[in-house]
Each structure stands twice: as C-alpha cells, then as structure tokens.
Amino acid sequence: MTGFARAEGALNGITWAWELRSVNGRTLELRFRLPTGWDSLESVWRDMTGKMLKRGNVTINLSIKRESQTRLELDPAALEQVLKIATDLHRRIAGSPPPSAEALLSLPGVLRQAQVDQQDEKAAAAADVQAGFIAALADLVTSRQAEGERLATILSRQLDEITTLCETATVQAAGQPAAQRARMLDNLQTLLREMPNLSEERIAQEVAVLASRSDVREELDRLSSHIAAAHDLLREEINIGRKLDFLIQEFNREANTLCSKSATAALTATGLKLKAAIEQLREQVQNIE
C-alpha cells in the first residue's frame, strides 16, 4: 500500500528529518538510508516497522544537518611546522620582524574546522530522533489506512460487477443443457455409425461425460461462495492481503473452468468478461496489506 509521512525536529545544534515512503509490494521490504554513525540503530527501527506493517516496499530516510556556524580549532602539527619555517626566515633575514600570532593563524591549515564527535552527537540526539521515527511511522500507518478505506470501496464495486456477471452467466447457462443435448445426439449418431455394436453401457458413459461437461452450476456456486468470502474479508480489515491473494486464485480457477465448459458464444463472452473483472480485482488486491 502507498503512503508518505515526515517528521522533523532540532536538538543540541543539529536538525533531523525522517521521510517514510511506502509503495505496493507482495511482501514487506524495508530500505533504510541512514547517516554515518546511525547504522547501529537500524535493527531497532526495523523491528518497530515490522510490527506495524506487513506488506509493501518501504523506504526510510533519515537526514541529519548541523548548525551552519562552525567552531575552529588549532592544528598543532601545522602550527609547529609554519612556526619553525617563519622563525628560520626571521633569523636569516636581518631586521625582519618576528612572526606574529595573527600572521601565523591566517596561514592555510593552521586553523581547521573542529571535528564533530559523531558518537557524542548520536548519544545526545538519539532519543529525540527515535521519538520522531515513532511519530512518522504512526503517520505512515494512518496514511496507508486511509488508502485502504478507498480501496475497500473500489473492491466492493468490483465484487458487485463480478456478481452481476455471475448472475448473467447463470441465466445463459440455463439454456446450455439443450444445446449440449443436441450436440450429444449428433455425437452419438456418429459414434453408432462408426461402432454399430457399441454397448449400452458405453453409450451411457458417453452421455454422462457430455452432460457433466455442460453443467456449470458448480462453478457458479463456488464463485458466489468466493464473492461472499471476499466481502467477509473486507469487513475484517486487518491483514487480509494474503488471504485475498489466495481467494483470487480460486476465482480464476472457476472462471477458467466456466469458459472451458461453455457451449454457447454468449456464455463464453460472459466468461471472458468475468476473467477480465477478476484480473482487475487481483491488481487492486496487490495494494492491500
């Protein structure tokens, strides 16, 4: 299921921001993008996410920015090197002024940006950043639930379409035995011409086989049962994606059998429409957790 959430804050001279994005997926796949030094907390956040979400491809991004003003510090090795050079020049050049502190500090490399202790930074901000993650994760769940409510409406409409097609197929199938009976008689006449000594038992077997091939009531009954089961699952609302996946496979199985048993062009056309409607339902089911 799709969804988006963002949470941000500032603490101890740094600003942080979480962005969570979710798209459709058959299983739960998590991709974390964390700043250097924060990787050790990924397993904690991964466990939290796994308890809240069951399906979807989720990208979780944490950005950390430090305050623009920087603190400078002295590089002792660089200062020692330039001081030695400046002192040697002063001794060699008669009457030259001794090296001043201001001049030395203005030389490149003597002053450098103070290095941030990432471990100290993480320790100071970890609790606040984690609270932000929990808030963003809750917002993502809410966003996905809102999409789920919209999908429920779409799925109900598609199930109603499948119900209508099943009702049409039931009416069309009512005339199928007569059509199959005529075909059956033609087949029997051909069979008797080729095998005049055919036993009555063999004829009865052929009639039974042809009759079973023309009866689609069982498939239509099972489709009606699957439709009712799908509506029941929609009312459950929680963790129904995989159950609906399996149910759609059963929908397809019955629709395929219906088409293979069809003896009329009208019933075949309805069966194909039914398969198309089931495929549309399957595509939407992929979005459900």
Q: Per DSSP, what are the bridge partners of residue 4?
A: 21
Higher pLDDT, 252 or 13: 252
The torsion defined by the Cα of 226, 230, 236 and 240, in degrees rounded to 10, comes to 100
Band of pLDDT at residue 164, cut at 50, 70 and 90: very high
Range in 26-35, 200-209, 273-282 with the lowest mean pLDDT: 200-209
**Top mean-pLDDT range of 204-208, 247-251, 282-286:** 247-251
Cα–Cα distance list, 6 to 38, 62, 134, 139 (Å): 18, 10, 11, 8
At residue 34, the pLDDT reads: 92
Least Cα distance to 281 among 228, 245, 239 occurs for 245
Higher pLDDT, 183 or 211: 183
At residue 59, the pLDDT reads: 94
Cα angle 137-146-156, degrees, rounded to a multiple of 5: 140
| pLDDT at residue 202 is higher than 70 | no
Question: What residue ranges do the domains of the chain occupy?
Answer: 3-69+118-144, 72-113, 151-285
pTM more than 0.85: no
3-state secondary structure of 74: strand
At residue 113, the pLDDT reads: 61
Least Cα distance to 28 among 4, 5, 47 occurs for 47
Range in 18-22, 106-110, 192-196 with the lowest mean pLDDT: 192-196
Cα–Cα distance list, 82 to 33, 110, 141 (Å): 42, 8, 59
At residue 100, the pLDDT reads: 84
Q: What is the DSSP string of 20-63?
A: EEEE--SSEEEEEE--TT-GGGHHHHHHHHHHH--SEEEEEEEE
At residue 138, the pLDDT reads: 94
Average confidence score pLDDT of the chain: 82
How far apart are the two ends of the chain, measured CA to CA in Å? 7
Q: Per DSSP, what are the bridge partners of residue 33?
A: 61
The mean pLDDT value for 11-25 works out to 86
* Cα distance between residue 5 and residue 126, in whole Å: 20
* Cα distance between residue 262 and residue 259, in whole Å: 5
* Cα distance between residue 186 and residue 181, in whole Å: 9
| pLDDT at residue 116 is higher than 60 | no
At residue 149, the pLDDT reads: 81
The mean pLDDT value for 3-16 works out to 87
| pLDDT at residue 152 is higher than 60 | yes
